[in-house]
Structure 1
Amino acid sequence: MKKVYHLSSCNTCQKILKELNLPDSFEIQDIKEEEITKEQLEEMEALAGSYEALFSRRARLYRERELNKKELSEADYKELILDHYTFLKRPVIINNDEIFIGNSKKTVAAAKAAVHG
């Protein structure tokens, strides 16, 4: 599978997609327009190793809901991501059996090398 989960209203995601210059073989899903399914999230978790790895603590709702004051379990991370798209650390790039999560320079460089390598 070659897929990207992103948010079209996120300038950082747009910049990264432009930089990656993905081949047409990649499916691109705007997670605000097309919600992540339980199956899709489970596929991401299988590659990432945990739901926590996919979870964004930068989401505005993280502090609004005072989640920063709670001990969250893997089940909590999964439910929160399914509950609201902003809890997914973006972008998530899947290149066959590799997954790249987030927007750090190192992650983006690794994704670019994997996609065009």
Structure 2
Amino acid sequence: MLVYGLKSCDTCRKALKSLPEASFVDVRDKGVPAEVVGRAIADFGHELVNKRSTTWRNLSEEDRAADVATLIASHPTVMKRPLIVNGDQMHLGWSDEVRAALGVG
């Protein structure tokens, strides 16, 4: 299981604490592989972009108009977090639904 997020993100820290077997990838340091972004876009579409983030608010209109893959490649911190890859399943965020799907309280 891989958790993509930011080491400074409280929600990502909560997810990692509940998923001790997961490996963590800090998107600020390593980015998100294009194949993972592609799968996530197929699953979540524009929900993958966190429009409440500071990164999003600081983007120009031109940057905001880019397609999701380009936007995340250029600004990985604009991705909603955490993105959890568990085999062939992907989960976005740390909602009650995601925790239930992963079998954690």
Task: Give TM-score scaled by structure 1 length.
Answer: 0.70
Residue 81 (1) aligns with residue 75 (2): no
* Structure 1: gaps of 5 or more residues: none
Distance (Å, rounded) in 1 between the aligned partners of 2:12 and 2:19? 13
Counterpart AA for 1:56 = N
| Residue pair 1:95, 1:114 contacting (<8 A) in 2 also | no
Residue 45 (1) aligns with residue 32 (2): no
Partner of 2:3: 4
Residue 90 (1) aligns with residue 77 (2): no
Counterpart AA for 2:15 = I
Alignment of 1:96-111 (within 5 A): 96-103=87-94, 107=95, 109-111=96-98
Residue 30 (1) aligns with residue 17 (2): no
Counterpart AA for 1:6 = G
Task: Give TM-score scaled by structure 2 length.
Answer: 0.77
* Structure 2: gaps of 5 or more residues: none
Partner SS, residue 29 of structure 2:
coil
| Residue pair 2:72, 2:78 contacting (<8 A) in 1 also | yes
Of structures 1 and 2, the larger Rg is shown by 1
Partner SS, residue 80 of structure 2:
coil
| Structure 2 CA distance for partners of 1:60 and 1:23, relative to 1, 3 Å | closer
| Residue pair 1:7, 1:13 contacting (<8 A) in 2 also | yes
The total of aligned residue pairs comes to 103
Tell me the CA shift for residue 41 of structure 1. 0.7
Q: CA RMSD in A?
A: 2.4
Counterpart AA for 2:70 = E
Partner of 1:56: 50
